[in-house]
Structure 1
Amino acid sequence: MAEEPAPLEEPGHESLDMIEEITRNDGSKYMEIGNMVHNGRAEFAAEKKFIKEVRILKLNIPESANVIKYEDYINHHFLMQGWDMDHWEEWIKTPEMQAVVDAILRENQVG
Protein backbone atom coordinates (compact mmCIF):
# COMPACT_ATOMS: atom_id res chain seq x y z
CA MET A 1 0.00 0.00 0.00
CA ALA A 2 1.38 3.42 -0.99
CA GLU A 3 2.19 5.83 1.80
CA GLU A 4 1.03 9.41 1.46
CA PRO A 5 3.96 11.64 0.49
CA ALA A 6 4.93 14.44 2.85
CA PRO A 7 3.00 17.66 2.21
CA LEU A 8 4.75 20.61 0.60
CA GLU A 9 5.40 23.74 2.64
CA GLU A 10 3.69 25.81 -0.05
CA PRO A 11 1.11 24.11 -2.29
CA GLY A 12 1.21 24.33 -6.08
CA HIS A 13 -1.51 25.75 -8.30
CA GLU A 14 -1.91 23.19 -11.08
CA SER A 15 -5.28 22.72 -12.79
CA LEU A 16 -5.66 19.18 -14.08
CA ASP A 17 -7.72 18.80 -17.24
CA MET A 18 -6.55 15.78 -19.21
CA ILE A 19 -6.19 12.04 -18.91
CA GLU A 20 -2.85 10.53 -19.92
CA GLU A 21 -1.58 6.99 -20.27
CA ILE A 22 2.08 6.72 -19.26
CA THR A 23 4.18 3.69 -20.18
CA ARG A 24 7.06 2.97 -17.83
CA ASN A 25 10.34 1.62 -19.18
CA ASP A 26 9.40 -1.88 -17.98
CA GLY A 27 6.34 -1.76 -20.27
CA SER A 28 3.75 -1.39 -17.50
CA LYS A 29 1.25 1.44 -17.91
CA TYR A 30 -0.66 3.73 -15.61
CA MET A 31 -3.26 6.45 -16.02
CA GLU A 32 -2.59 9.96 -14.80
CA ILE A 33 -4.73 13.06 -14.53
CA GLY A 34 -2.51 15.86 -15.79
CA ASN A 35 -2.39 19.03 -17.85
CA MET A 36 -0.46 20.37 -20.84
CA VAL A 37 2.57 21.24 -18.69
CA HIS A 38 2.64 17.74 -17.19
CA ASN A 39 2.24 16.21 -20.65
CA GLY A 40 5.09 18.31 -22.01
CA ARG A 41 7.33 17.20 -19.17
CA ALA A 42 6.31 13.57 -19.79
CA GLU A 43 7.13 13.91 -23.51
CA PHE A 44 10.53 15.32 -22.52
CA ALA A 45 11.02 12.43 -20.08
CA ALA A 46 10.25 9.98 -22.90
CA GLU A 47 12.86 11.66 -25.12
CA LYS A 48 15.37 11.28 -22.27
CA LYS A 49 14.35 7.59 -21.86
CA PHE A 50 13.07 8.10 -18.28
CA ILE A 51 9.73 6.63 -19.44
CA LYS A 52 8.81 4.78 -22.63
CA GLU A 53 5.92 7.01 -23.78
CA VAL A 54 2.96 9.17 -22.85
CA ARG A 55 -0.36 9.37 -24.69
CA ILE A 56 -3.18 11.83 -24.22
CA LEU A 57 -6.43 9.87 -23.91
CA LYS A 58 -8.82 12.74 -23.24
CA LEU A 59 -8.51 16.54 -23.20
CA ASN A 60 -10.58 19.13 -21.36
CA ILE A 61 -12.14 16.83 -18.79
CA PRO A 62 -14.83 18.49 -16.63
CA GLU A 63 -13.80 19.89 -13.26
CA SER A 64 -15.79 17.41 -11.18
CA ALA A 65 -15.65 17.04 -7.40
CA ASN A 66 -13.23 14.14 -7.91
CA VAL A 67 -10.94 16.20 -10.15
CA ILE A 68 -10.92 19.00 -7.56
CA LYS A 69 -10.08 16.49 -4.81
CA TYR A 70 -7.21 15.02 -6.85
CA GLU A 71 -5.90 18.50 -7.81
CA ASP A 72 -5.81 19.39 -4.13
CA TYR A 73 -3.85 16.21 -3.32
CA ILE A 74 -1.34 16.77 -6.15
CA ASN A 75 -0.90 20.48 -5.38
CA HIS A 76 -0.20 19.74 -1.72
CA HIS A 77 2.25 16.85 -2.30
CA PHE A 78 4.06 17.33 -5.63
CA LEU A 79 5.79 20.03 -7.64
CA MET A 80 5.76 20.02 -11.43
CA GLN A 81 9.14 18.74 -12.59
CA GLY A 82 11.40 21.20 -14.37
CA TRP A 83 13.27 20.78 -17.64
CA ASP A 84 16.40 19.92 -15.63
CA MET A 85 14.88 16.59 -14.50
CA ASP A 86 17.21 13.61 -14.16
CA HIS A 87 14.40 11.05 -13.69
CA TRP A 88 10.63 10.78 -14.05
CA GLU A 89 8.72 11.38 -10.82
CA GLU A 90 5.55 9.32 -10.82
CA TRP A 91 2.88 10.89 -8.62
CA ILE A 92 2.39 8.29 -5.87
CA LYS A 93 -1.27 7.67 -5.09
CA THR A 94 -2.61 6.47 -1.77
CA PRO A 95 -5.39 3.86 -2.07
CA GLU A 96 -7.90 6.68 -1.47
CA MET A 97 -6.40 8.78 -4.28
CA GLN A 98 -6.25 5.79 -6.63
CA ALA A 99 -9.98 5.35 -6.01
CA VAL A 100 -10.48 9.04 -6.90
CA VAL A 101 -8.48 8.60 -10.13
CA ASP A 102 -10.52 5.48 -10.95
CA ALA A 103 -13.71 7.51 -10.43
CA ILE A 104 -12.40 10.26 -12.75
CA LEU A 105 -11.69 7.64 -15.41
CA ARG A 106 -15.24 6.25 -15.06
CA GLU A 107 -16.76 9.76 -15.17
CA ASN A 108 -14.94 10.35 -18.44
CA GLN A 109 -15.57 6.87 -19.88
CA VAL A 110 -11.84 6.10 -20.14
CA GLY A 111 -10.19 2.80 -19.26
Structure 2
Amino acid sequence: EIGNMVHNGRAELAAERGFIKEVRILQLNIPHSRNVAKYEDYINSHYKMQDESMDHWEEWKRTPAMDKVVADILKENHIG
Protein backbone atom coordinates (compact mmCIF):
# COMPACT_ATOMS: atom_id res chain seq x y z
CA GLU A 1 0.00 0.00 0.00
CA ILE A 2 1.17 3.52 -0.63
CA GLY A 3 1.15 5.31 2.70
CA ASN A 4 2.95 7.94 4.70
CA MET A 5 4.96 7.72 7.92
CA VAL A 6 1.84 7.85 10.11
CA HIS A 7 0.22 5.01 8.17
CA ASN A 8 3.44 2.98 8.39
CA GLY A 9 3.52 3.48 12.16
CA ARG A 10 -0.10 2.40 12.51
CA ALA A 11 0.64 -0.72 10.45
CA GLU A 12 3.56 -1.60 12.74
CA LEU A 13 1.31 -1.10 15.78
CA ALA A 14 -1.38 -3.30 14.20
CA ALA A 15 1.21 -6.05 13.69
CA GLU A 16 2.37 -5.76 17.30
CA ARG A 17 -1.24 -6.12 18.45
CA GLY A 18 -1.87 -9.11 16.20
CA PHE A 19 -4.38 -7.43 13.87
CA ILE A 20 -2.17 -8.23 10.86
CA LYS A 21 0.65 -10.76 10.45
CA GLU A 22 3.56 -8.54 9.45
CA VAL A 23 4.65 -5.25 7.96
CA ARG A 24 7.39 -4.71 5.43
CA ILE A 25 8.12 -1.09 4.63
CA LEU A 26 9.93 0.05 1.52
CA GLN A 27 11.00 3.66 1.92
CA LEU A 28 10.64 5.64 -1.29
CA ASN A 29 10.60 9.30 -2.17
CA ILE A 30 7.60 9.54 -4.47
CA PRO A 31 6.99 13.03 -5.88
CA HIS A 32 3.56 14.54 -5.33
CA SER A 33 2.13 13.95 -8.81
CA ARG A 34 -1.44 14.29 -10.08
CA ASN A 35 -1.91 10.56 -9.51
CA VAL A 36 -0.64 10.80 -5.93
CA ALA A 37 -3.07 13.68 -5.32
CA LYS A 38 -5.95 11.59 -6.78
CA TYR A 39 -5.05 8.67 -4.53
CA GLU A 40 -4.73 10.89 -1.44
CA ASP A 41 -8.15 12.41 -2.15
CA TYR A 42 -9.68 8.94 -2.50
CA ILE A 43 -8.15 7.63 0.73
CA ASN A 44 -8.99 10.79 2.69
CA SER A 45 -12.62 10.72 1.52
CA HIS A 46 -13.14 6.99 2.24
CA TYR A 47 -11.01 6.23 5.30
CA LYS A 48 -10.01 7.79 8.61
CA MET A 49 -6.51 7.34 10.02
CA GLN A 50 -6.84 5.45 13.29
CA ASP A 51 -5.18 6.77 16.40
CA GLU A 52 -3.02 4.74 18.78
CA SER A 53 -6.08 3.35 20.58
CA MET A 54 -6.93 1.31 17.46
CA ASP A 55 -8.69 -1.99 18.10
CA HIS A 56 -8.58 -3.39 14.55
CA TRP A 57 -6.88 -2.93 11.20
CA GLU A 58 -8.91 -1.62 8.29
CA GLU A 59 -7.60 -2.57 4.87
CA TRP A 60 -7.82 0.22 2.33
CA LYS A 61 -9.87 -1.31 -0.46
CA ARG A 62 -9.53 0.29 -3.89
CA THR A 63 -11.87 0.59 -6.81
CA PRO A 64 -10.63 -0.56 -10.24
CA ALA A 65 -10.05 3.12 -11.07
CA MET A 66 -7.86 3.54 -7.98
CA ASP A 67 -6.02 0.30 -8.81
CA LYS A 68 -5.07 1.97 -12.10
CA VAL A 69 -3.99 5.16 -10.32
CA VAL A 70 -1.73 3.15 -8.00
CA ALA A 71 -0.33 1.19 -10.96
CA ASP A 72 0.38 4.50 -12.70
CA ILE A 73 2.15 5.84 -9.59
CA LEU A 74 4.36 2.76 -9.51
CA LYS A 75 5.04 3.02 -13.24
CA GLU A 76 5.88 6.75 -13.03
CA ASN A 77 8.42 5.96 -10.33
CA HIS A 78 9.89 2.87 -12.06
CA ILE A 79 8.72 0.52 -9.29
CA GLY A 80 7.61 -3.04 -9.92
Q: What is the TM-score when the length of structure 1 is the normalising length? A: 0.67
Please give the root-mean-square deviation of Cα atoms over the aligned residues, in Å. Answer: 1.1
Deviation at 1:33, TM superposition (A): 1.0
Equivalenced residues, count: 80
Q: Distance in 1 between matches of 2:28 and 2:8?
A: 11
What stretches of structure 1 move > 3 A for 4+ residues in a row?
none
Within the candidate set 6, 13, 17, 1:48 is matched to 17
1:105 aligns with 2:58: no
Deviation at 1:58, TM superposition (A): 3.2
Deviation at 1:59, TM superposition (A): 2.4
Per-residue deviation, residues 60-102 of structure 1 (Å, max 9, x unmatched): 2111111010001111111101111111111110110011111
Gaps of 5+ in 2: none
How high is the sequence identity, in percent, across the aligned residues? Answer: 71
Per-residue deviation, residues 27-73 of structure 1 (Å, max 9, x unmatched): xxxxx110000000000001111112222223221111110100011
Gaps of 5+ in 1: 1-31
Q: Which one has a larger percent strand, Structure 1 or Structure 2?
A: 1
